[in-house]
Structure 1
Amino acid sequence: MNEASTRNKFYSYIEQTWTITEEQLNELKDKPLASFIVSKETDVVGIPETKFYLKLQMARESIDKNGFFLYLCFSRPKNSSKIRAKYSFFVKSENYSTQFDNIFYPEKTTGWGDEICPVEKFFKRNFIFHGKCIIEIKGILIFEEINEMPKIVMESAVLSRALWEKDEKDFKIEVENEGNIMVHKNVISARSTYFERMLNSGMKEAITNSVKIIDFNLKTVKTAIEFFYDRNIFESLNFDDAFDLLRFSDKYQIIDLQDKLELHLIYQLSPSTVCKLSNGSIYSNSVKLREICTNFLMICSKHSIPIDDLKNLDRDFAAELFLKTFSPFD
């Protein structure tokens, strides 16, 4: 399966940790049936105006017993697409976990879940630890009917366009054996804390108004400089170029470029790309991307979702993933 084969589907990883106090649980227990409490709403990455949250509800288990029921719920526009959700709930203090595979329709489905425990047993077991019940959810949302795939959009201001077009750039970056590129010192200092410190330090580079870069190619450096001037670099950025650029932004402390690149790559996350993205996260030293890929793969394992190119997964990463996958409460 190639990168483009799942472009009609968008995958979004979700995760939330919800801490409920014992006092809140006692208050819920004493309220009428169908009473509930909810967690905070969390944005679904890549899908505008769509948030998810958890709901803990007291409902009747049988004629003489009440239970706590736990649900995944969404807040979103009525005309939004259906969501296929593969997710798991965890309460580590009780060694409790359960998993679901549900479809959420925008006008029909308010939430999916199930009973977590009868109310009386809940307070006798280990769901509450040190006065708190900590509930976690990890899952994958699959969107098949969205009108447009999420993407990073760069808006070039009048000033940045004017600076880009000017020839009076006053700082030279020499890329070994490939060529040079010019940039404004004020621009590169504003976008990179590494270069800001260099140019304010009195070092040789600050005096000569030039710096040599030997560990990145000219294409990567040029693309980074284009980003400094708010050029749209994401439209045709392939994975390998993105990983090089992410490594460049990590080394030279270009925080906003790093954030946008990670989000750009997360938008591409799917069962057909996750192994390539995992390897790229190691190469580029992206902790955030690596963590999301790890969790995505673990959910795929739990829900028997086929993954492409597993044989190409970095060996150390694969070994660590194996241990995490078979440690149910990691």
Structure 2
Amino acid sequence: MNESKVETAARVAQWRIENMVSSSYRRSEPFKMGLWNWHLSVEKSRYVYVRLFPEPSRHSKEQPPIATFMLRLYNVAASRRPLTSLVHDRLLRSSEDYVWAVEIAYHGRFIIDVEFLDLKVASVNGAEPSSIWPNEGIMRNQAIKGTLACLSRMLNDGLHADVTINTANGTVRAHRAILAERSTVFERMLSEDFKCKESSIVNIEDISVEACTTLLNYLYGGIKYEDFREHRIALLRASEKFDIGDLKEACEESLLEDIDSKNVLERLQVAWHYELIQLKKGCLKYLFDFGKIYDVREDLSIFFQRVDRELMIEMFQEVLNASGIA
């Protein structure tokens, strides 16, 4: 087993140390979180000193991170609750910028758990630091790339709004050309073989007018991330229904970014229902590899009452793998 390796899932990094004796020092291998490679180090004497710092590089020097984070220290053999640091908001450049000193008497197997609540890029010209989460750039680039051809077609043909979409609680107007260009399902609906070709009316009764407006903003390339984040489950459903692959990928990436103990079971169900492989892996890793299954044990009975049987079998297999039985 490589004791220097740090495992990551979503915004959590976890370092397992099999044998931490007195008067010893360990440093982890670099692990990726956000834009930077990071290290953890631990030194044990009278106190345990835990350090978190970015790997020295030109990138970390020119764009140093401001991290909002908290740490947990577990002793595997002890039955005590983990020791938890305060939430820190620090500019981190070197191993001296953050040191957590913990006075403990026990030794042996340790787990150091780092949860990154936010990561910002420190400005070199005095401007406000900018958060890299949520990763708006990836989502917006996907939207813009997919809609450039649509906007060009709309401009060249001189099209105006010529489609009415009836939602569960309101009506919005759109352009036939963009809908047809961005979705083969819309293209078929607006073809000569369908009645809405003549009436220019599309009925989408399983989406709200707010979510539909957000969907259209994505297709047109003008979406705001706060709207995307608010309606991403409805957008995921729409991406499946109307075969919009890039939107489905954007929803999966966003849902994978902020997994925590409050939403992991819901995210796991979503991943299973929509066949989101990376999101499912992220949820299972968070629950079993990082031991967060104990944080959601009170919700498991309700979860198992409504979950698919095959997913239950897969989760049971993960339990066996984690225990070393399988």
In the superposition, the TM-score normalised over structure 1's length comes to 0.51
1:48 to 35, 55, 63: 35
- How far apart, CA to CA, are the structure 1 residues paired with 2:31 and 2:245? 23
- How far apart, CA to CA, are the structure 1 residues paired with 2:31 and 2:12? 12
Contact 1:250–1:285, Cα closer than 8 Å, also in 2: no
Residue 142 in 1 paired to residue 131 in 2? no
Residue 252 in 1 paired to residue 225 in 2? no
Q: Which residues of structure 2 form unaligned runs of 5+? A: 1-8, 14-28, 40-53, 73-91, 96-112, 121-130
- How far apart, CA to CA, are the structure 1 residues paired with 2:38 and 2:184? 34
Residue matched to 1:266: 256
SS in 2 for 1:313: helix
Pairing 1:152-231 to 2, within 5 Å after superposition:
152-153=135-136, 154=140, 168-175=160-167, 178-200=169-191, 202-231=193-222
Question: What's the CA shift string for 1:273-315, capped at 9, x where partnerless?
Answer: 31232233345554442332122212122x7873486335354
Contact 2:184–2:242, Cα closer than 8 Å, also in 1: yes
Pairing 1:12-161 to 2, within 5 Å after superposition:
12=11, 44=33, 47-50=34-37, 77=60, 79-80=64-65, 142-143=115-116, 146-147=119-120, 148=131, 150-153=133-136, 154=140
Residue matched to 1:295: 285
Contact 2:11–2:117, Cα closer than 8 Å, also in 1: no
Runs ≥4 in structure 1, deviation > 4 angstroms? 41-44, 49-52, 73-76, 80-86, 105-108, 155-160, 236-239, 282-285
CA 300–285 in structure 1, closer or farther in 2 if over 3 Å, else same: same
By how many angstroms is 1:259 displaced?
Answer: 1.4
- How far apart, CA to CA, are the structure 1 residues paired with 2:248 and 2:118? 29
Q: Return the structure number with greater helix share.
A: 2
Contact 1:85–1:141, Cα closer than 8 Å, also in 2: yes
By how many angstroms is 1:249 displaced?
Answer: 0.9
Q: Which has the higher contact order (CA 8 A, sep 6+)?
A: 1
Question: What's the CA shift string for 1:13-33, capped at 9, x where partnerless?
Answer: 79xxxxxxxxxxxxxxxxxxx
What residue identity is the alignment partner of 1:310? Answer: D
Q: Which residues of structure 1 form unaligned runs of 5+? A: 1-9, 15-37, 53-72, 87-104, 109-139
SS in 2 for 1:232: coil
CA 211–107 in structure 1, closer or farther in 2 if over 3 Å, else same: same
By how many angstroms is 1:150 displaced?
Answer: 0.8
Question: What's the CA shift string for 1:53-99, capped at 9, x where partnerless?
Answer: xxxxxxxxxxxxxxxxxxxx97873544789999xxxxxxxxxxxxx
Contact 1:278–1:313, Cα closer than 8 Å, also in 2: no
- How far apart, CA to CA, are the structure 1 residues paired with 2:12 and 2:193? 46
- How far apart, CA to CA, are the structure 2 residues paired with 1:262 and 1:228? 17
Residue 242 in 1 paired to residue 236 in 2? no
CA 319–149 in structure 1, closer or farther in 2 if over 3 Å, else same: farther
- How far apart, CA to CA, are the structure 1 residues paired with 2:261 and 2:293? 11
What residue identity is the alignment partner of 1:220? Answer: A
> Sequence identity, in percent?
18
What residue identity is the alignment partner of 1:327? Answer: N
- How far apart, CA to CA, are the structure 1 residues paired with 2:193 and 2:35? 46
What residue identity is the alignment partner of 1:199? Answer: L
Aligned length: 221
Residue matched to 1:67: none
Contact 1:175–1:212, Cα closer than 8 Å, also in 2: yes
CA 278–205 in structure 1, closer or farther in 2 if over 3 Å, else same: same
What residue identity is the alignment partner of 1:48? Answer: L
